[in-house]
Structure 1
């Protein structure tokens, strides 16, 4: 046994082979009777040894108790020192009430249970998934109760998005005291705000060009709501991961969307044709109107000239009717017979009267001259 007092061995504190046998930690070894040591004797001896360290030699004295109490209080006060890392902010409390914040370094606050220190991480960014749960290998599980939302034009859309947040360094005490479940609170607020924003927009805009504006608006409203709650967090990013129709009606929605795009395309083509044809028709109409106006002006001017000429002729006719009548007859015959081949017959019975056709000679002269110049030009080119 470990307490055996045989001469060949020692107890747990004994020395093998020593003349005095083994000794206990309190000074003397066990009795030679071979019986186990007396516990009361061991305690008495330990008490005697402890008295040697107490001034006055009496453990029960008032000064010893006071020194012991002061030592205990000193050790307790030393436990109030704590270290704040660069990514943390110390939130000091006294009897559970906030008393102030502390920056990085070695700091001090009243130790527990009078004082308490909370050190939230103000640089770590947390991500909350709304509408889906990410899995291994990029396979996500859709949470339809979170992702299905109603748009302003009464369509259903499936939206998955992320919210990235962190503790506000300027309001870290609000985060510590006002938020019991930060992840759940921020997720509930962001989902509610997303439903509000989607309910004010049409599905076509959300699926095409308005996703960035939707994310920005959701971030701003979520931040404003959490500030109103005194949450002490910063919403850094709201990012849409997917925005599409529900899986059950997705193909039908794409067919309707394609038909709408075809309708818009045909309408644009018709508007293009109209924008090209209408100006041409208007230009043609304006040209026809201008031609008619010009013809009218010309006809009126010709008629006015003819009337003025007839008036002049009539005035001259009144002065000398015979002369004017003869002149009109000659001018009319000249105009009628000018281009008609003529044969002149002598009235005295001598037969056909030869005459010199000056008009035909004048017409032939230019033709003959042009034919004569051609051989000369050909010889020159050779």
Structure 2
């Protein structure tokens, strides 16, 4: 029917009346009851077949009957009563989702571009300093039923809870810890606190990781903080050098002390053993002396002369042994510088 047929026409009394038209008559061919039942059965089969569904390996099937959760299905082929009785939701439970705090990714390309969100990144530390922190929270679905029905707008909830947890952790820390050695502890504490908050919400979410992206002072005082950090690095370097020198000198001195002690102990042992040997030797000589006093006395005299005059030739004349007429003269052939009877020079 043309659009002009819908134009209103004036009726009696100056009013408007709707146009009159007739619907076309459709004449259906006469169908047998068997054909109608067959067509109806086919429609029912198609309707029932529409209830088959597949749950992927990274998904879980949440079956709803008139909007109420009745079952959770694992990956594979399943069937449910078709619409409008039941519907199926299939959230991806292995997909790691990401929430950014303090910044937003504008372009993830190379190089990536980010936009700073100062209202989220500026925080107050425990020593009342302002710090600029960017944080990334990674999470995945732990309980798909709770994830779908317990909390609305879950990404916003995770972001707000993560920001609150981070502010609480930073509020207990000094700015030096947040800028240097305390980053790993801050990440771990924030993760534990965030997980406890989401568990209290019954959100069905597992926090995979909490990562600090950028931690620095505000831009207005960044140069001053860099100077302070450089001074601290110099102090740490000097301390490390001094400790290294100490660690090198102390073992060397200790080694020398040990050497002196060992030498002193060896000298002491040597003197003790020598004294003990001399004492034992004296006792043995004393025993021999008591047995034969004259012989022992002569032997001691001869040994003493040998020790006192080691380089001199000695002639011993025993008295009272038939040599009373011996002329005490020097051996002329063995004086200094004169050859002996064999022609060899002798030195005394």
Determine if the TM-score, normalized by the shorter chain, exceeds 0.5.
yes
Alpha carbons of 1:83 and 1:108: their partners in 2 closer, same or farther (altered >3 Å)? farther
**In the alignment, structure 1 residue 160 sits paired with structure 2 residue 134:** yes
Which residue does 2:83 correspond to in 1? Answer: 107
Cα distance in 1 for residues equivalent to 2:217 and 2:211:
18
Corresponding residue number in structure 2 for 1:296: 272
* Residue of structure 2 in register with 1:354 after alignment: 333
Query: What residue in structure 1 maps to residue 190 of structure 2?
Result: 218
Q: Match for 1:131 among 102, 118, 123?
A: 102
Q: Give ranges in structure 1 of 5+ residues lacking alignment.
A: 1-10, 14-23, 26-34, 54-80, 111-116, 365-382
Compare the two structures and name the one with the higher strand fraction. Answer: 2
Number of the residue aligned with 2:121: 146
- For 2:144, the equivalent position in structure 1 comes to 169
Going from structure 1 to structure 2, the CA distance change for 1:283 and 1:140 (only over 3 Å counts) comes to farther
Confirm whether residue 252 of structure 1 aligns to residue 223 of structure 2.
Answer: no
Contact 2:125 / 2:174 at 8 angstroms: preserved in 1? no
Whole-angstrom distance in 2 between the partners of 1:212 and 1:146: 18
Instruction: Tell whether 2:160 aligns with 1:191.
Output: no
Q: Please tell me whether the aligned partners of residues 131 and 175 of structure 2 are also in contact (alpha carbons under 8 angstroms).
A: yes
Q: 1:108 to 1:338 in 2, by over 3 A?
A: closer
Q: What is the Cα deviation at residue 358 of structure 1?
A: 9.4
Aligned-partner Cα distance in 1 for 2:313–2:204: 119
CA distance in 2, matches of 1:210, 1:217: 11
SS of the residue 1:251 aligns to: helix
Identify if the C-alpha distance between structure 1 residues 221 and 332 changes in structure 2 by more than 3 Å, giving closer, same or farther: closer
With structure 2 as the length reference, what TM-score do the two structures score? 0.56
Query: Which of 298, 302, 311 in structure 2 is aligned with 1:339?
Result: 311
Q: Aligned partners of 1:351, 1:36: CA distance in 2, in Å?
A: 184
1:302-338, CA deviations, whole angstroms, 9 ceiling, x for partnerless residues? 1442354255336533xx5xx7767766666666666
Q: C-alpha displacement at 1:83, in angstroms? A: 12
Structure 1 residues 293 and 82: alpha-carbon distance in aligned structure 2, compared to 1, 3 A threshold:
same
Is the alpha carbon distance of 1:195 and 1:265 closer, same or farther for their aligned partners in structure 2, counting shifts above 3 Å? farther
Q: Distance in 1 between matches of 2:158 and 2:173?
A: 23
Instruction: Check if 1:238 corresponds to 2:210.
Output: yes
Cα distance change, pair 269–45 in 1 and its aligned pair in 2 (3 A): same
- Name the structure with the higher helix share: 1
Q: 304-313 vs 35-44, which deviates more?
A: 35-44
Query: For residues 363 and 354 of structure 1, what CA distance do their matches in structure 2 show?
Result: 9
* Structure 1 counterpart of 2:318: none
State the alpha-carbon separation in 2 of the partners of residues 286 and 184 from structure 1.
Answer: 75
Distance 2:284 2:341 in 1: 35
Report the secondary structure of 1:107's partner residue: coil
Shift, 1:155, TM fit? 8.1
CA contact (8 A) 2:135 2:211 kept: yes
Alignment of 1:198-213 (within 5 A): none
Residue 266 of structure 1 corresponds to 242
Instruction: Provide the rounded CA distance (Å) in 2 between the counterparts of 1:276 and 1:256.
Output: 30
**Deviation of 1:298 (Å):** 0.5
Q: Secondary structure in 1 aligned to 2:333? A: coil
User: How many positions carry a matched residue from both structures?
Assistant: 285
